[in-house]
Amino acid sequence: MKIGIGNDHAAFELKNTIKAYLESQGHEVVDYGSYSAERCDYPVFGEKVALAVRSGEVERGVLICGTGVGISIAANKVRGIRAAVCSEPFTAQMVRRHNDAQIIAFGARVVGVDMAKMIVDSFLGAEFEGGRHQNRIDLIAAIEERER
């Protein structure tokens, strides 16, 4: 799968570890930065990955900052994007199955390396179930339309 990854300074190290892990699993990873541990602003990278997902440049996104929250909030401002913060694999699987989230986010200051690997595995291994869940996704899209 082609996956876009993005991070801020708090997550530079974990981003590199997860990027290498995903590549070792056979995924193609596009790195949207940041490219160093120098202080930077997470909205920049949340937006880059979200736009890449929305355009189809990549199929899924992985976003990492200190908590996963700021970078996911930024990504969710891109119309049509559903980015979910997860700290464990159960939720990471359910956000695909029920919420059709295209982007997973987590915090480098929250989860360890092994947990982060389990989170991405669960997320990438699950598919949207559709059905009644699609109606709810449509209702979320309707909110975006009203907010235009």
Residues at the contact surface with ligand RB5, assessed by CB under 6 A:
8, 10, 42, 65-67, 69-70
Least distance CB 32 / ligand RB5 (angstroms): 16
Least distance CB 82 / ligand RB5 (angstroms): 18
Find the catalytic residue in 9, 27, 40, 65: 65
Find the catalytic residue in 9, 40, 86, 98: 98
| Active site annotation includes 98 | yes
Q: Give whole-number Cα distances, 115 to 23, 110, 135, in Å.
A: 17, 10, 32
Give 45 or 100: the residue with its C-beta nearer to ligand RB5.
45
| Active site annotation includes 9 | no
Give 10 or 101: the residue with its C-beta nearer to ligand RB5.
10
Give 45 or 123: the residue with its C-beta nearer to ligand RB5.
45
Catalytically active residues are: 65, 98
